[in-house]
Structure 1
């Protein structure tokens, strides 16, 4: 299943990278994400790992904020786009191929681990969260953003119609076929996130892994999307953010 998911992301890499480039060119969107990450990570320079970096959007946002960023992804196509975007936006970021469930880094390597729109496609999310916990330093923070991508549409007639109209608008204005993207039905149905109640399920997983100070925040979408970007890509119910801190060995026991 991992190969199918990696191939699906590779097939989407060029179009998704274009979406990212447009977002980075929009001040409202760029500064909205930067503010969200600054609220979670603070303003001190950190060594940060971006898991499921895709075309490098989060890595770039964090690099703009002055952090030392490493991006990892299991899709060759996404990594290619991330490297190109790094050159395009003139940022110094290290990218490498890696599995979110088995990261190629030693224990306690990073001050923080971040991820955006990735955990929903990872076959074994608990295993991934254990890995993110492993590579972050004691007292360090894991922050990830995700959404209820398929359940939102399945449960809402209004959002399905909005989705159809937005795809038609993209087809007309951007001259690309948004209907060709996404996962095959069989793959989608086998994703854990297609059947989970989120972020409640995420909070339980974070607790089981051993994180402390676990929080969930919603209401992110309108902080980062506006105008035509909101019309085209805002049909999902909302984005949510989950964060947790790795327990310090002595003081938190």
Structure 2
């Protein structure tokens, strides 16, 4: 899959995605996410945070609210524009940049926390991505990756979701396009999170925390933000 197709898809989704993320910021989900992150590493004032695949800036804004010095990157220029608008809306000074998650333009050991949500499934080279994320992490810094085994589900078969779910606003053409992108990414044909853990071990990371119960806490009800595919959370501390 050419990355231009991925960029084009998310550019088209930027407006509706941004509206959904603004609503999520006002929902009980926002506090749930901060609670989960804080259990792993509390965000302290001045802490340097990198939000990979920031989208409309949801996690970036949450981390900034906790006092973090936040940078958010995304491959989609329209998403970055939405993120900037949302940060301004909530009066947060966040550094947003268009950047490839597999080729980070930051120096080694720059960030205290590197965090990502629902991004790895879109990356053609998962090993390179994890390698880059670990590279820009400070010693004793934390990497948190939240994703799901989306390859086992079909995005065109979510009819059972509540009518107010964001997925229903996409239309069939966008769902088909999303499914085609997903099928073109190698990680989506591998078992997850086992493959992720194998990659991290190959990169020399031994202290790996895996949480496969997080979806029960975050998605305890089928609201507009419900994810029908069970998410997992992987966190590591860089030695």
TM-score, with normalisation over the residues of structure 2? 0.90
DSSP-derived class of the 1:202 partner: helix
Which position in structure 1 is the counterpart of 2:36? 36
Partner residue in 1 for 2:174 = 181
Partner of 1:110: 111
The structural deviation recorded for 1:58 is: 0.6
Q: Could you tell me which residue of structure 1 aligns to residue 202 of structure 2?
A: 208
CA distance 1:185–1:151, change in 2 (3 Å): same
Alpha-carbon distance between aligned partners in 2 of 1:81 and 1:97, rounded to the nearest angstrom: 12
Partner of 1:166: 161
Alpha-carbon distance in structure 1 between the residues aligned to 2:154 and 2:100: 29
Distance in 1 between residues matched to 2:18 and 2:232, nearest whole Å? 22
Residues 214, 177 of structure 1: CA spacing in aligned structure 2 closer, same or farther, 3 A cutoff?
A: closer
Q: CA RMSD in A?
A: 2.3
SS at match of 2:207: strand
Change beyond 3 A, Cα 1:233–1:31: closer
Q: How far is 1:234 from its partner?
A: 3.0
Moved more, 114-123 or 234-243: 234-243
CA 129–91 in structure 1, closer or farther in 2 if over 3 Å, else same = same
The change in CA–CA distance for 1:48 and 1:103 in structure 2 (over 3 A counts) is same
Can you list the C-alpha shifts for 1:70-99, whole angstroms capped at 9, x where unaligned? 001110111011001101112111101111
Three-state SS of the structure 1 residue aligned to 2:192 is coil
Q: CA deviation at 1:178?
A: 4.2
The structure with the largest helix share of the pair is 1
The yes-or-no answer on 1:72 pairing with 2:65 is: no
1:42 to partner: Cα distance? 2.1
Question: In structure 1, how many angstroms separate the alpha carbons of the residues matched to 2:178 and 2:115?
Answer: 27
Gaps of 5+ in 2: none
Contact 2:126 2:187 in 1 (8 A): no
How far the C-alpha of 1:117 sits from its partner, in A, is 0.7
Against the structure 1 CA distance between its residues 97 and 235, is the aligned structure 2 distance closer, same or farther, given a 3 Å change threshold?
closer
> Are the equivalent residues in 1 in contact too, given 2:121–2:182 (CA < 8 A)?
no
Q: Output aligned runs, 1:28-177, within 5 Å.
A: 28-45=28-45, 46-153=47-154, 160=157, 163-166=158-161, 169-170=163-164, 176-177=169-170
Asked which structure has the greater CA Rg, the reply is: 1
2:239 corresponds to 1:244: no
Residues 180 and 14 of structure 1: CA distance in aligned 2, closer, same or farther (over 3 Å): farther
Q: Deviations over 1:175-209 (max 9, x none)?
A: 94443434355432211232111111111111112
Aligned to 1:240, the other structure's residue is in SS state strand
CA contact (8 A) 2:73 2:97 kept: yes
> Which secondary structure does the structure 1 equivalent of 2:114 belong to?
strand
Task: Please give the residue correspondences for 1:8-47 in structure 2 after superposition, counting only pairs within 5 Å.
Answer: 8-26=9-27, 28-45=28-45, 46-47=47-48
**Matches of 1:42 and 1:52 in 2, distance apart?**
21
